[in-house]
Structures are given as structure tokens and as C-alpha cells.
Amino acid sequence: MSDTFSRGDVERVARLARLDLSTEEKDLFARQLAGILAYAEQIQRVPTEGVEPTSHAGDAAAMRDDVVIPSLPREDSLASAPDADRAAGLFKVPRVLG
């Protein structure tokens, strides 16, 4: 069992997320979360003096300009839909909310 992330901590998070975890899962998640926190602590110790801050990883110069091109015609995209209202120009999808 981890000293930095306890089973009680996992139980509190599980209760907030409305998860029903077994004792084995609580112990496993406590170890895994402690490992994640230990790694984050290790990353925080990396010396970054003199390193220029960036807004994103990678070379910004490699980004291309946006180019406007024609999209797929609506009739073509609706033709391949299994259940579409072609007259209204709409895709029909299963209801997912209330």
C-alpha cells in the first residue's frame, strides 16, 4: 500500500465518481495513483532554468497556412448515411440524452 495515496483517498475519489470498487481495485489504484504522483514530482525536479517557455510542443514554423477547399457535397455525404432525412439535409443518429 502506498504512503502517498491511501485506500481512503481512492475511496473518496470513487465515491465522487460514483464507482463501486473492490478492495483489490482500491489497493491497485492507490499504488497506480501514487506512482503517477511520484512521476509528476520527478518531472517537477527537472532543471528548467534558461529554457524558454512554449505554448505547445513542436516547431511552430512547421505549421501550414489554412487553405479553403470545397467540402464533400451534402447529397454525397447523406447518400452514404444509413438513416438520413435527405429532404431536410440531416443525419439521423440514435438518441443519447434523456
pLDDT digits (tens, 9 = 90+) for 39-55: 999 999 999 999 888 77
Alpha carbon 9 to its chain centroid, in Å, reads 22
Q: Is 5 exposed, middle or buried (0-12, 13-18, 19+ CB in 10 A)?
A: buried
What does the DSSP assignment read for 6-52? Answer: -HHHHHHHHHHTT----HHHHHHHHHHHHHHHHHHHHHHTS--TTPP
Confidence at 20, pLDDT banded by 50, 70, 90 = very high
Q: Provide the grid cell at 14.
A: 470513487
CA distances from 28 to 8, 38, 61 (A): 13, 15, 44
What is residue 1's predicted lDDT score, i.e. its pLDDT?
Answer: 40
Q: Is the pLDDT of residue 17 over 90?
A: yes
pLDDT digits (tens, 9 = 90+) for 52-67: 887 777 766 677 788 9
The structural domains of the chain, ordered by start, are: 7-45 (1.10.20)
